[in-house]
Structure 1
């Protein structure tokens, strides 16, 4: 035996089709485990049914492979013992040396470590074995995983140029406007974040993280303000709900429920869409997060699309996505507890109004708007995606057989159902037992982990960590705005500019719309609504307009979005991979119609609010 130079080993590995795709750290670790062996004529390197301990790369000499069917293959400058790189515990073929030679010996343990980094290695090894048996080389060299460095596109050049130029300009302009240094610096950082979103220079969750780090490095706000989202109840709520959604999907409960639902519902697209729409509506008053509601509805959407055999990118699949999405979003302004920003702004109302709107009266006052957006959704879906008439009849007998084949509910399904009911009942009755839904979600998460329903791998892969970091980073930026007093400064700066409203509700609505939309261009939903309410409530009070109407309008208008980065729910759909089922262009056009529906809902509510004595 003799050792070869590591660079020669690496070159030999790269020449072989089995390892041609390996590079970097996995290849370096593999080279450290190699050794050169010499064999004599007649020596058996691999014996059928013996433990597959090594794979050999032949450097010189001739070997002969005999398959179980008796086929004999001559091996020269190839490899043998691919079983060691696959899931096979023993060799399937005999390999014997015809002449003396030399080979690189690779232990099974090193191959298993490489397969952990490149799972396709096992399947490629089996393809190599199939080539010997079938007489045809099935294994082809793997494509290189290294991505070539591409020149920046015009959009990226414009984006990075803006990121370099605009923030310093905003800093100097803010200083000239009389803002303190801390506020000017924060506006500069925030402008860079928005520009990275606008030009899509990085994944959506990266810019707010960069902004949080920059704020902490400069020392604009204390860490307990900038990182407040990561220590808030929002984190436990999101973790618990995402974990529950993962268990509902992986246990098969969502598939079983969807089969049961499709069998019992009338076989029309209208009822299929209505089931998803109403699911989101039911969750709205008990879950103050649209992302959390969507995470529970999306598994049902996926199983419904597959159960109905809807083609990807079809109008029917897109209409179902519109129903699932709108079910979790449209009712966000309709309940006090449907949106975390509703609860935040609720404290701005006078005590008398807080007592009046704390219960069901919030939904009563929003009744016309709720009916309007629901009717608009049904109308736009019908006109844009086509009349909800079924094509081929749904094979309900086949669905019944599929449901019967599932058998009784498994332990995992029962646990997922109990967990869902536990959270649903606990969140609904929070006013009675005074336990926050965040703590209920935390108990649920601990229970799922202790019962083994959510493994370590599931915890890493099935929880949407980028979305969680995105939402919590936005929460930190929102708190920083309040800490620096930017919301108050904005309210004082524009307060006298709206005297033309004159107490007329029809004039105030476009003012509220314009203020909210302008803020939402640079701020997330929560911060956009809060800052808009801070600006508009004093203006409304000066115009003798009920402050609750202002809060409701900002809650509804803050859900209007045009760019993907403005909607964390839409980013959640794309991040989950379910965006492949629907036509994005048509879905975005549907969303623009629903934006107009929210404005219409505000105007149609004026006579109703007058009847209630609110305006």
Structure 2
């Protein structure tokens, strides 16, 4: 039994040692029951070279040294016996006590519980490396640093989160607005959520969940209505497509697709850019988040440029980087299945409009916008990133990579089958009359039943935070309709709605300006939801097809001028850091041009929409 004073020493050791600072207290408490302190006399051997590595040691007091004949003798400090924790079968040092020493002994079975902590393993690797190099080990605190002071943005944000709902509530009460009490309560709740989104106080899905939960607790609506989004077709559609995209990514099908694209066309930088853009564009209809598509395509940049010269990486690399980014994001509004917020907007439309604008009809209505935007994007990409540097990679490399991959594995075949079934269901929805969401769910069931999407992938590869966000926001929209908050808000912006009917061209300009201003403070999804909630009901009143208004909001909101405005861009930067030189100025120039091109695409689409009877 360990004496109480020794337990106190061990507890202090675990709390104060930098190697354990990144570990959970619960795991350290378990570890405390399995480690011991021993005292050794001068001349005693702690471990010998070739012995089984069963323990990790830490020197608390005294002096130790290595005694191997073929190695330089040197003092020992800090950890030793790291071989046990690093997966080596035996020790490579003879370590002897020089003066009376007090050691902490950590058995192998106990330290294996800390394998998941990268800071712990990195500390031991540094210690072991230092000893191999004949250096005295210096411990470095590898735990994540937390600022003592909370950022001003957080403080201001939470103050506004407290003040805003009170201001909204008393403002509506004192102004004697013709609103039901429940509508006033829910407007205050939405005020809190807006502040949380503006100041990024919490992940996007938390305010959405807060809104529906608060509505139920305050008796504004029933739980069935508030959480109806989690049983909606859009929710199951998104879940199924996320599962399919996880299999596409993990099976290697997306990388195989890139290699085939590189082999099809000529070995030139033009074709490489087309290939990079095409991969993201092809994934757009089947991977319903830009972040998910970015995660899939970002590694391709390093794969392609690894065999290129330094000059080619510096000059052509930024254009290839832009091709990957815009390939994954540019066409998001064109396909209803490309983003969660597209499903939300679809759910805001009247039921009969929803039935009409399923996947294929949505694509056909957005086709002119997409084609014009693509053409103008291609021209601007060539102009902004123009250079005379050649980039030509031998096709034999791609061919050999395909040979290394071998034939299609069962997971890849299943991904292809799932894609064929899903696309067929989307294209022929008007013929088979089966809800596409249930076809997609059947594909997900098939992938799970045969083990292509295993339990671990189901937990970790599917973006559950996005699904919570989607489900909660569908519920938020339903509550807004129930308390008739949307009708009241529509009346307040009737001046803008009037332009829909009188001059759609002028309305587009006003909407573009409003979207740009709101996007400076709100994320994309929040901007879309707020504007769609206000303007879609107004479009119905003035006789404009609500799909047109919903699409315009999506089309114009999917833009950014500053990195913080797009989480997927920040993610893309982190995934491609160090591969090519950063050229933010050119990328921002592209973003400004694309925003202007979107206005051109919309104006050219107006006659097309008129021919379809949408305007």
**What TM-score does the superposition give when structure 2 sets the normalisation length?**
0.80
1: distance between equivalents of 2:21 and 2:464? 33
Tell me which residue corresponds to 1:291.
288
User: Shift of the alpha carbon at 1:326?
Assistant: 0.9
Tell whether the 8 Å contact from 2:273 to 2:319 is kept in structure 1 after alignment.
no
Distance change in 2, residues 1:20/1:229 (3 Å): closer
Change (3 A) 1:144 1:479: same
* Residues 456-499 of structure 1: per-residue CA shift (max 9 Å, x gap): 44334332233332233222212221122222333456558866
The alignment partner of 1:150 has SS state of: coil
Measured in 1, the distance between the counterparts of 2:493 and 2:18 equals 68
How do 1:126-525 residues align onto structure 2 when only pairs under 5 Å count?
126-138=125-137, 140-153=139-152, 155-175=153-173, 176-275=176-275, 291-292=288-289, 295=292, 299-300=296-297, 302-304=299-301, 306-309=303-306, 314-332=318-336, 341-342=345-346, 345=349, 347=351, 367-383=367-383, 385-387=384-386, 391-491=390-490, 505-506=504-505, 523=526, 525=528
Q: Is the 8 A contact 2:49 2:91 kept in 1?
A: yes
Matched, 1:11 2:8: no
1:30 alignment counterpart: 31
Q: CA, structure 1 residues 21+504, in 2 after alignment: closer, same or farther (shift >3 Å)?
A: closer
Give the SS at the match of 2:557.
coil
CA contact (8 A) 1:525 1:566 kept: no
**Counterpart for residue 309 of structure 2:** none
How many pairs does the alignment contain?
Answer: 595
1:384-428 per-position Cα deviation (integer Å, ceiling 9, x unaligned): x33487632233232223333333334444444444444334444
* Alpha-carbon distance in structure 2 between the residues aligned to 1:424 and 1:511: 36
Q: CA, structure 1 residues 579+486, in 2 after alignment: closer, same or farther (shift >3 Å)?
A: farther
* Structure 2 residue 123 is the aligned partner of structure 1 residue 124: yes
Distance in 2 (CA, whole Å) between partners of 1:529 and 1:280 is 27
Q: Is contact 1:85-1:112 (8 Å) kept?
A: yes
Superposed counterparts of 1:40-79, under 5 Å: 43-60=44-61, 62-67=63-68, 70-71=70-71, 73=73, 78-79=78-79
**Alpha-carbon shift at residue 321 of structure 1 (Å):** 0.9
CA distance in 1, matches of 2:434, 2:565: 27
Partner secondary structure for residue 408 of structure 2: coil
SS in 2 for 1:70: coil
Q: Is the 8 A contact 2:19 2:123 kept in 1?
A: yes
For the aligned residues, what is the CA RMSD? 4.3
Partner SS for 1:136: coil
Quote the offset at 1:220 in angstroms: 1.9
| CA distance, structure 2, for counterparts of residue 260 and residue 58 of structure 1 | 57
Residue 63 and residue 481 in structure 1: after superposition, are their counterparts in 2 closer, same or farther (change >3 A)? same
Distance 1:8 1:282, change over 3 A: closer
* Structure 2 residue 575 is matched with structure 1 residue 571: no
Larger CA deviation: 188-197 vs 1-10: 1-10
Q: Distance in 1 between matches of 2:462 and 2:183?
A: 35
Greater alpha carbon shift after TM alignment, 480-489 vs 177-186: 480-489
Q: Distance in 2 between matches of 1:106 and 1:317?
A: 48
**Which stretch shifts more, 388-397 or 258-267?**
388-397
User: In the aligned structure 2, how far is the partner of 1:359 from the partner of 1:25?
Assistant: 49
Q: Contact (CA 8 Å) 1:40, 1:97: kept in 2 or not?
A: yes
Deviation at 1:183, TM superposition (A): 0.7
Q: Larger deviation: 428-437 or 17-26?
A: 17-26
Q: Deviations over 1:153-180 (max 9, x none)?
A: 2x44443333232221111222321211
The question of whether the paired residues in 2 share the 8 Å contact of 1:216 and 1:222 is answered with: yes
Q: Output the CA distance in 1 between the equivalents of 2:138 and 2:416.
A: 46
Hey, what's the Cα distance between the residues in 1 that align with 2:496 and 2:147?
54
**Preserved CA contact (<8 Å) 2:53 2:83:** yes
Unaligned runs of 5+ residues in structure 2 are: 307-312
Would the alpha carbon gap of residues 512 and 91 (structure 1) be closer, same or farther in structure 2, given more than 3 Å must change?
closer
Structure 1, residues 197-241: CA drift from partner, whole Å, max 9, x if none?
A: 223333333332333333233232222222222222333333332
Structure 1: segments with no counterpart, 5+ residues? 541-546
Return the alpha-carbon distance in structure 2 between the equivalents of residues 506 and 348 of structure 1.
26
- My pick for the range that moved more, 372-381 or 522-531, is 522-531
Any conservation in 2 of the 1:267–1:393 contact (CA below 8 Å)? Answer: yes
Any conservation in 2 of the 1:124–1:139 contact (CA below 8 Å)?
no
CA distance 1:59–1:435, change in 2 (3 Å): same
Distance 2:45 2:226 in 1: 66
Secondary structure in structure 2 of the residue aligned to 1:142: coil
3-state SS, counterpart of residue 106 of structure 1? strand
CA distance in 2: counterparts of 1:77 and 1:364, whole angstroms:
70
Deviation at 1:526, TM superposition (A): 5.4
SS at match of 1:36: strand
Note the alpha carbon deviations across 1:276-333, whole angstroms, 9 max, x for none: 555666677x76xx73577357514542563245569934312431232113334559
Instruction: Select the residue among 551, 558, 570 that pairs with 1:555.
Output: 551
Whole-Å Cα distance in 2 between the matches of residues 389 and 432 of structure 1? 52
1:544: which partner in 2? none
Residue matched to 2:310: none
